């Protein structure tokens, strides 16, 4: 049961929300203290990687603006002042 | 008409003016009236009351507005402005003039629009379009924000800047639309519908929330947001809609139909991002520290556990057994040595006895008791019988020997 908590999806394929949700469940699982030591260490490592990944995403986030016209979606160029 | 000198009615100016005043002030039409005209001779003395003349092509009407009514007015009056003024006709007796005591002013045309606004509001309200139960919660942290607004103008820029500042993780999907004029209502409806039917036309993720917005303007400018088709499109949207049209004091029917009303476009963008980048940073920090402390707890727990195990292990360790085995071994050795000592003692006593006996049996011992050993010189044979005695012989006694000569004549054999 504890095994299944250790996801295997590569972190860089996760969206921010997925990474944060997984981090949250890892923290809760570790705080629950029901895992073997070995699983705990794996969860901890995964959690650390997720936390730093989320941090990088947060700090590098750039608002993406697209324009929908009819059925076409294209990048929206903001007018410069 | 020729005056009748003897007419029964003779009045002072005051009496006549009072009479006129009574006539005017008792006429219900004159006591609750909207008058349309253009402002001229606008005057704002220090008293705070406002004086102006309303006029049209053929007539003029003196108007005044008491300070407290003037303070409530949201219309910034200017000479030449076409307005609708509401009030009652009063008479200013000292000057013998009548005037409109204005209590409410709105820009011209607003009255009819306002009637339409009230009519449509009542209609849609009766249909339940504005029910609180219909309002859906706005997601606190949207991934995709749909925006319907004019492609030019401050509203779009304000919203994009606000979203960028608060939550740059957001993806914005913009549909531009005219927001005033006759083409605005159908374009706004189409924009709302296209955001709602996105999965059918592309694989772009559907917006979690739509911002329907427009900057400030006159009631005519904002009117598209009061049209039935736009209000219905807002109510029909499957995606929650935040409506931010005009300024704080402007209410449109789209505001009532939306899931959330924002006072301005900027506020709409703020309400769409209740969770900000700072919140996410805080959340991440808290997860990280919980993660660290959970593993510290775990390590401490494991250490304590290992410590307990170690002391239990010590208790059951074979070391004690080994020590006790050693002790037993020592005991055995001690006993073995002591047994050996005993044996050796016994043996040594025995050997002493034997040696004493052996010594007593040695020829020297016998010689001491006075016996002597006689040997023949010629062949060294021991002479133990008389018949063996002959020639020269050697006699050995306890401390040496001496020679003798056999006297054959005196041989005497006893047996």
Alpha helices in B250-276 (DSSP H): 253-257, 265-272
Residues B173 and B270 in one domain: yes
Tell me the average pLDDT across B340-345. 88
The CATH number of the domain holding residue B251 is 3.40.50.261
Top pLDDT among B337 and B415 is at B337
Tell whether the torsion through CA atoms of B26, B27, B29 and B33 is positive or negative.
negative
Closest approach of A52 to chain B, Cα-based (Å): 9
Residues B208 and B143 in one domain: yes
- Which residue of A lies nearest to B149 if distances are taken between CA atoms? A67
Residues B143 and B265 in one domain: yes
Nearest CA to A15 among B169, B276, B160?
B169
Assess whether pLDDT exceeds 60 at residue B137.
Answer: yes
Q: Indicate the residue among B256, B275, B294 that finishes a domain.
A: B275
Tell me the average pLDDT across B231-255. 92
In the predicted model, residues of chain A with pLDDT beneath 50 are 1-5, 80-81
Contact residues on chain B for A69, CB-CB shorter than 8 A: 175-176
Domain range spanning residue B35? 13-108
Contact residues on chain B for A76, CB-CB shorter than 8 A: 172, 174
pLDDT of res. A2 = 42
pLDDT of res. A81 = 42
Closest approach of B244 to chain A, Cα-based (Å): 19
CA A42 to chain centre: 17
The CATH number of the domain holding residue B78 is 2.40.50.140
Contact residues on chain A for B157, CB-CB shorter than 8 A: 78-79
* Dihedral (Cα; B323, B325, B328, B330), 10-degree rounding: -60
| Model pLDDT for residues B1-23, shown as the tens digit of each residue | 666 667 778 889 999 999 999 99
Does the residue B197 lie in any domain? yes
Residues B139 and B83 in one domain: no
Tell me the average pLDDT across B312-326. 79
Nearest CA to A44 among B286, B284, B291?
B291
| Model pLDDT for residues B352-375, shown as the tens digit of each residue | 888 888 777 777 777 887 888 889
Query: What value does the mean pLDDT of chain B take?
Result: 88
Total structural domains within chain B: 3
Q: What 3-state class would DSSP assign to B234?
A: helix
Q: Indicate the residue among B275, B297, B316 that finishes a domain.
A: B275
Does the residue B211 lie in any domain? yes
């Amino acid at each position: 049961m504890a095994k299944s908590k250790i996801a295997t999806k590569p972190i860089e394929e996760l969206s921010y929300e997925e990474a944060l949700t997984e981090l949250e469940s890892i923290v809760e699982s570790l705080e629950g203290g029901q895992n073997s030591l070995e699983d705990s260490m794996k969860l901890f490592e995964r959690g650390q990687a997720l936390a730093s990944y989320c941090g990088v995403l947060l700090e590098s986030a750039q608002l993406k603006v697209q324009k929908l016209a009819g059925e076409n979606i294209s990048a929206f160029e903001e007018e410069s002042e | 008409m020729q005056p009748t000198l003897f007419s029964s009615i003779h009045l002072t100016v005051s009496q006549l003016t009072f009479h006129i005043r009574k006539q005017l002030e008792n006429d219900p039409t004159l006591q609750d009236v909207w008058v349309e005209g253009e402002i001229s001779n606008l005057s704002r003395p220090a008293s705070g009351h406002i004086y102006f003349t309303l006029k049209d092509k053929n007539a003029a009407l003196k108007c005044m507005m008491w300070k407290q009514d003037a303070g409530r007015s949201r219309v910034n009056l200017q000479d030449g402005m076409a307005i609708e003024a509401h009030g009652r006709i009063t008479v200013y007796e000292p000057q013998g003039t009548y005037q409109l005591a204005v209590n409410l002013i709105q820009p011209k045309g607003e009255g009819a629009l306002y009637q339409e606004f009230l009519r449509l509001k009542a209609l849609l309200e009766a249909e339940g379009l504005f029910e609180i139960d219909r309002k859906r919660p706005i997601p606190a942290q949207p991934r995709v924000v749909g925006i319907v607004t004019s492609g030019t103008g401050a509203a779009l820029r304000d919203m994009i800047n606000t979203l960028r500042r608060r939550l740059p993780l957001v993806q914005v999907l913009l549909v531009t639309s005219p927001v005033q004029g006759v083409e605005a209502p159908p374009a706004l409806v189409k924009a709302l519908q296209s955001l709602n039917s996105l999965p059918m036309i592309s694989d772009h993720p559907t917006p979690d929330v739509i911002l329907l917005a427009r900057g400030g303007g006159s009631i005519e400018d904002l009117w598209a947001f009061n049209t039935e088709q736009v209000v219905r499109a807002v109510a029909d949207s499957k995606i929650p809609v935040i409506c931010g049209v005009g300024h704080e004091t402007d209410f449109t029917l789209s505001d009532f139909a939306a899931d959330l009303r924002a006072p301005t476009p900027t506020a709409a963008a703020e309400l769409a991002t209740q969770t900000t980048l700072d919140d996410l940073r805080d959340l991440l920090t808290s997860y990280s520290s919980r993660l660290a402390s959970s593993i510290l707890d775990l390590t401490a727990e494991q250490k304590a556990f290992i410590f307990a195990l170690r002391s239990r292990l010590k208790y059951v360790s074979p070391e004690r057994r080994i020590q006790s085995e050693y002790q037993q071994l020592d005991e055995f050795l001690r006993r073995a040595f002591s047994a050996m000592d005993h044996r050796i003692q016994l043996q040594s006593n025995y050997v002493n006895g034997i040696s004493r006996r052996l010594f007593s049996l040695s020829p020297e011992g016998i010689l001491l008791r006075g016996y002597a050993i006689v040997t023949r010189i010629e062949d060294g044979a021991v002479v133990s019988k008389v018949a063996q005695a002959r020639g020269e012989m050697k006699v050995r006694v306890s401390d040496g020997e001496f020679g003798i000569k056999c006297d054959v004549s005196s041989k005497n054999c006893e047996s």
